[in-house]
Structures are given as structure tokens and as C-alpha cells.
Amino acid sequence: MRNPTAGRSKAAAQSATAQPAGPVAQVGPIVSAAHLASGKLPALSELEFALNVATNAYHRWMVRCMAAAGVGGLAPVDVQILHHVNHRGRDKTLADLCLVLNIEDTHLVNYAIKKLAGLGLARAGRRGKEKTVAITDEGAAVCQRYHEIREALLIRGVSALGFDGAEVARLAGLLRALSGQYDQAARGAASL
């Protein structure tokens, strides 16, 4: 058997197997852009990085859970729109969906509605001059399958972490409040 350290210097071989001599230095905060964390509120940069990582994981989850529920090929926004169209079983307008989901690009929502209607998960309608969208029986059944998979895979795992429901709700409120600050800052940036 060949020696895995053959061909390397003695110092390189020792450093590859050496353990840290003392306590590891404090590394924080964990951010994706140190130049943004160098201002007055570095914790916000840490939160932004966590949001980016969580958003990507959440989007991946939604797409894979929906595929497991029987509908592949949807984008995360399509999944969000399908669930909101199913919410409370009432018809929604394009404006309703954009407002509630905080989506600025109406074309994105309109395309998702057409995609969902083409799959038989939603159906377009009208309320006066406004276009509406409603869930179909197949769309409701897919949402139910998604719910069951979510309970079995995600909720069971999150519950095992021991998070307090009230604390999770408080965090959700904080994120909604912060979203308002980002929206206000975006309006300010658009006027520069």
C-alpha cells in the first residue's frame, strides 16, 4: 500500500494531520460581503446572508416538494402562486397576487397563471374587467399532496429541533417588518 504522505514535505504532512494548538479564533459575523458588514449594523449583513441561503433552500424545497406531489417543472414563484390561489378557496386577481406576495413584475405572475392554467391546476376567469384566477379540483388535490409531504418531511424535522411556535411567529413578524424597510429603501434608491 502506498504511503499517502509520500512525495510531500515532512512539514506539509505534519500540517495536514495537525490539530489546532488552541481555541479557534472568533470568526464572525458570517456574511457574503465583508464590505457590507463593515458599516454601522454588521448584524444586518449577517441576516441578509442567512436570508439568501434560506431563500435558496426554501425555493429548492418548494420545487422538489411540488415534484414529489406530482407536478414537476414549476418555478418557486409558480408554487407560491398556486398555493395562494388555493388559499381560502376564493378567486384572486392579478393585483391580489402581486400585492400579497410582494411581486412587482406583473408579467411574472401573469406567466405563472397561464402556466398553472395550462397544467389544469388553475383556471382563468373574469370579475368585471379584471382577470381572475381560481383553483381547480386538480390544483387543490396537488396542494393537499404538497401539504402531506411537507408535514411528513419538513414539519417533522423542524419540530424535532424544538423551536417554540411563538418564537417562529415572532421571527416571521420581524421579517415582515424588515421587508417594509427594504421596500422603502428601494423606493429611495429608485429616486437617486
142: nearest Cα among 127, 124, 122: 122
Q: What is residue 31's predicted lDDT score, i.e. its pLDDT?
A: 83
Strand extents, DSSP E, the chain: 92-93, 122-127, 130-135
* Cα 65 to Cα 145: distance, rounded to the nearest angstrom: 9
* Fold of domain 46-161: Arc Repressor Mutant, subunit A (1.10.10)
Q: What is residue 12's predicted lDDT score, i.e. its pLDDT?
A: 46
> Mean pLDDT of residues grouped by 10 in the chain (192 residues)?
49 50 67 85 91 97 98 98 96 96 96 98 93 97 98 95 94 96 96 96
* Cα 86 to Cα 92: distance, rounded to the nearest angstrom: 9
Model confidence pTM above 0.85: no
Q: Which residues contact 42 (CB under 8 A, 6 or more apart)?
A: 29, 31
